[in-house]
A and B are shown apart, each in its own frame.
Chain A
Amino acid sequence: MTAAPSAQPTLALPRTVVSCAGLTKRFGRLDVLKAVDLAIRSGRVTAVLGPNGAGKSTLIKCILGLAHPDGGALTVNGTAVNGDPSYRSHLGYMPQQARFPENLTGREVVRLLRDLRSDTVPEDDELFESFGLVRELDKPVRTLSGGTRQKLNAAVAFMFRPAILILDEPTAGLDPIASGILKARIRSARDEGRSILLSSHVLSELDELVDDVVVLLEGRVQFEGPVRQLREATGEHRLEIARLMQGAR
């Protein structure tokens, strides 16, 4: 049941889907985010890049409401993030690693999430079908392979046709074929007018998928803008991007 993208009322978005102003987050004595200013544009694929420990995950967790910022303002989809959970009905989240309750079947996990969201939108089964997950849905999650679980994880994020998709290292645990299917789905989701925010340190994904780039380094925004601009600034080579991220310290 792949419904027409035009049937989505949630897609009437402001031009900026996520905006941060002076966002700070500390863990103990560690400043993970140091006054991050960001405006993530709607209807585009935005990649948050950065080496390990740059604050990518923390930024994503702040946007999802999993972590509470210490200071600054954060707006998602036009709503200030302040503890009211309802804005999350516009979000689809694919965590880095999928761990589901081991005695439940995929179908039961799907049903639980649908219950929790109380969505009336018809489900988006496209990824379940293209990943060949349908016949795996009645097995206990425990018996599924790591890759299959990761596919389920991705399919679940797209299932409720969210206006904003947040994908944490989406292709990390997937084989090349599944990774290709997911990338194609990300692209088609963008064409439907959704906004996609993904984190990655695999720079090669830049070329195929990403419109905008945010480079985080030690909790600060090092670069923000279209991927084209980043290429121009760094001379087209992926390695140069890596050097930009490394050399800026």
Chain B
Amino acid sequence: MTAAKVLRYELQDLRRSRWVFGYGLLLLALTDALLRFGGGGPRALLSLLNVVLVLVPLVSVVFGTMYLYGARDFIELLLAQPVRRIELCLGLYAGLALPLALAFVLGVGLPFVWGGHGDGSLARPLAMLLGTGVLLTLAFTAIAFLVSLLFDDRARGFGVALLLWLAATALYDAVLVFVAAAWSDYPLELPLLGLTLLNPIDLGRVLLLLQLDNAALLGYTGAVFERFFGSALGVAVSAVALLGWCAVPLVLAVRRFRRKDF
């Protein structure tokens, strides 16, 4: 019950947050512009893919850490009430992740609906895009939660959060390319496939590109990826891996929250 009460107050707080509102509005404007001037639904989806893969994790992790450091004093006041820590922790997480996910779904989804793309051939890739974006929001909010609990120093926590985002967005790929180039004589498809599962953003990218029939963009391992990720099993495995990226940081954050000295 405590979790629900904390969730309700946080929704009340974030519903009026200019940041969350601005984030939703930005996505709305961007999606609408892409649909109007970007040459139709499928191409708009492809452009949106990059927005989703870059912007959603960035906003989730940056806004998440910012909000949690700002709320630290109030969290202490809440902890001094007769409430169980685990419930407080879960309520805080849900209250942070849900408004961000909602802003994303409305910001990207509404223009498709009023543009008349809500059903038909675009429905499935759009649903995939929204689902992936929501999972990335949940994952990177959990990461933000964990980071804000591990580092008491706000500036350092902020730096670590940004670094993690940068690592997942760009550095990880650079390392993969380096590995692929350095050991190009060996059959690396399967190891690379495994490594892709370890990065939530890569996971989202592969999943979405294959849904949008742009496997060619994936380069030389594309065939292996398509065979794996394109199949029902591949989609299921990647969805589970993404859920793991939500669950593992969240479980670690809850454990940390229960033991932490505030």
Contacts and interface: CB of A to CB of B under 8 A. Distances in A.
B175 interface: no
Interface string A83-102: 00111110101010111111
Contacts of B71: 99, 101
Nearest to A68: B261
A86 B83 CA distance: 7
A61 B85 CA distance: 15
Contact of B70 (A95, A99, A112): A99
Given A67-B262, A101-B13, A103-B14, A88 B70 contact: no
Interface of B: 2, 5-6, 9-10, 12-17, 70-74, 76-85, 259, 261-262
Contacts of B15: 103
B77 A93 contact: yes
Interface of A: 27, 61, 64-68, 85-89, 91, 93, 95, 97-104, 108, 112-113, 115-117, 140, 166
A78 B6 CA distance: 29
A116 B262 contact: no
| Residue from the set B12, B70, B79, B82 with the largest chain A CB neighbour count within 10 Å | B82
Given A104-B9, A112-B6, 4 more contacts: A91-B80, A101-B9, A103-B13, A116-B2
Contacts of A67: 261-262
A97 B74 CA distance: 10
* B interface: dominant SS: helix
A66 B5 contact: no
Nearest to A119: B82
Contacts of A64: 79-80
B261 A27 contact: yes
Contacts of A102: 13, 70
B5 A85 contact: no
27 contacts: A27-B261, A65-B80, A66-B261, A66-B262, A67-B261, A67-B262, A68-B259, A68-B261, A85-B81, A85-B82, A85-B83, A85-B84, A87-B82, A93-B77, A95-B73, A101-B9, A101-B13, A101-B74, A102-B70, A103-B13, A103-B16, A103-B17, A108-B9, A108-B12, A113-B77, A113-B81, A116-B83
B74 A93 contact: no
A64 B2 CA distance: 18
Interface of A is mostly: mixed
Given A104-B12, A108-B9, A66 B80 contact: yes
A91 B78 CA distance: 12
Contacts of A98: 73
B248 to A, nearest CB: 24
Contact of A89 (B14, B72, B79, B82): B82
A101 B81 contact: no
B259 to A, nearest CB: 7
Lowest 5 CB-CB distances: which A-B pairs, in order? Answer: A99-B73, A67-B261, A103-B16, A93-B80, A89-B82
B262 A61 contact: yes
A116 B80 contact: no
Nearest to A113: B81
A88 B82 CA distance: 5
A224 B207 CA distance: 66
Contacts of B77: 93, 95, 113
A117 B78 CA distance: 10
A78 to B, nearest CB: 15
A188 B243 CA distance: 55
Centre residue among A27, A66, A86 by max chain B CB count within 10 A: A66
